[in-house]
Structure 1
Amino acid sequence: MIRRPGLSARLKLTISYAGFLLLAGTLLLAVVWVFVLRHLPDDDPGSIRRRFGGVIIVGTNRTELLSGFAPAAAATLAFLLVFGLLGGWFLAGRMLAPLTRIADAARMASNGSLSHRIRLEGPEDEFRELADVFDTMLEQLESHVAEQQRFAANASHELRTPLAISRTLLDTARNDPTRDQGELIERLHIVNTRAIDLTEALLLLSRADRKGFTREPVDLSLIAEEAAETLLPLAEKRQITLDVTGEKAQALGSAALLLRMVTNLVQNAIVHNHPTGGTVTIHTEPQHDTSVLRVENTGQPVPPELLPTLTEPFQRGTQRTRTDEHAGVGLGLAIVHSIVRAHDGTLDLTPRPTGGLRVTIRLPGVGPSND
């Protein structure tokens, strides 16, 4: 947008200060003038001797006093104007100094430098609050940009891996025509399936981040039962016991996304478990204005320092037990976190004292008017 050049804020404040001071001086001189006109007698020859509040004032006639008052008033107003401009310019500069620092920080941020902070000192006033909010915004923006850069680098690496494997297999088949084609096709099918799963996961993650879905009442208890039924063959293969408990808990959101969220949680709970004989518990319940979904599993102890990394993309939790055939693409909990955030909910990861992980999700519940 093209804007016409205008006066700076400092100059506007200077003119405002000077104008106010000049107006106040004019009003004061006007009061004095009225006072003189009221208490001086009409023009009389000779001097005037009158008493005001116990003080004897000696002067000439009204005409002579007024003729001397006008130049003095003009000189006073000129002094007030100059004093107001100089003082106003100085005061405006002092008042706007924090805004200058904020503008410099914003200019640096627009040029790509997000590490700069204002760190404005002084008392808690409007400028200090604005600077603190701006520093917080820069910190969050820097963190978000760094996260996006890591995500782009990891996604490029993950997508390049199956493509490189496919090219290697095709080169091998071309250089060795006698190679078993059935084995080659099977391996290519596995690699391509992994690439498709990764692409779909990336698309789902992007969709959840954009919040581009229709919201409707969804019963989390039914979603939990459907996810458990879908993953029952995997649980039976691993000799993992699936237990769904709780009661009806309705949330407002996308049924497809919430199903994917619960499915990812249950699959992770099965995969990151004991080799055999473990358990997975899925519990749902309403709590006040929220709907709670809790997934717990047995397994090896989870180091607390590992928890913050589990929801980052492509962090597979290498210190946790898993089977290779279900290692996934490293986006399981990242997708869960994104879906929870898109539904304005909270995600809490807590290590269980006896081993394994407890995942608690709280989503805004559906009020009586939405039932």
Structure 2
Amino acid sequence: MELLKRSIAAIQPLNENVYEQANERLANQARPAGSLGMLEAVSARLAAIFGTLDVRLTHKVIITCAGDHGVTEEGVSLFPQEVTPQMVFNFVNGGASINVLGKHAGARVIAADLGVNFDFDPSLPIFHKKVAKGTANLARVPAMTREQAEQSVAAGIEIVNELIAEGPLEMLGTGDMGIGNTTPSSAVIAAFSGIAVDKLTGRGTGIGDAALANKIRVIEQALALHRPDPKDPMDVLAKVGGFEIGGLAGLVIGAAAAGIPVVCDGLIATAGALIACELAPAAKAYLFASHRSVEVGHRFMHERLDVAPLLDLQFRLGEGTGAAIAMELLDAATRILCDIKTFEEVAIADAQKK
């Protein structure tokens, strides 16, 4: 907990002077005011994070946190748990969707084992942060102990600190891998929001109507049995979360503590971001929502966080794929602010001010 406390205390407010300068420049550029929509707000916030109008996102990393879930015993996913370690090897070998999209965005992709039910060779080039071999079945018992929840969040912070120790880091993307993990993610937002489970639970890997009804029942059973306290984010994580969700929360807090923007992916990554911002509200200033997933609960997470997603591409994959695509928009936003000339710079009369 000490690492978490230190990291939360280290989160600084954004540079308001630079934020104002950025908005002033955007308002005076040789184009109709507000004509580049959300990218204008993104560019100003990035400038405020870095304290300069000329932001360069040269060093980008996407961390794909992996973990297994005991709740798969309840038949909430189409795929068996064995797929999780197989996909970790796929990430390492560069054959997954996130590898392709991450490369296109100019980002390194690194997997992190937070709780996969498999013994990886210590020499495998991933972050070895296993808390345990999968969570317990949250339909029957709490997903993890409070100590394990704290360990998973600390692991995410440690990953950020280790990345920074390696060299420059200017943007962090968060992604996930874990069979069954839409179930705890839906449980997390249900616990915080109090919204009926059937309104925020989706089909995950593509389950049919009967399996969806069962998934909703499982989540309702877990919430009724464990009664996670929405005022205690660590309690929510421990009772109905996942090890990779805790790791994702730690990534957000660790990055914010270091003054690094974070772009989060879909439902599971946003569940981690939600835990992070409930623990450390100041971290939200550093958070960018990449896209709106087809998972119905994702919208409620964005509403809880009060963040607007940059894209809606009907994604439902995870891994960090939405974060990779959004990174290219964030790159574009930095150039919009710095490189588009003002009316004064190009000696064009500003009709809007007449």
Query: TM-score surpassing 0.5?
Result: no
The TM-score range, normalised by the shorter chain, is under 0.3
* Structure whose alpha-carbon radius of gyration is higher: 1
What is the TM-score with the length of structure 2 in the denominator? 0.23
What is the TM-score with the length of structure 1 in the denominator? 0.22
Instruction: Pick the structure with more strand per residue.
Output: 1
Instruction: Pick the structure with more helix per residue.
Output: 1
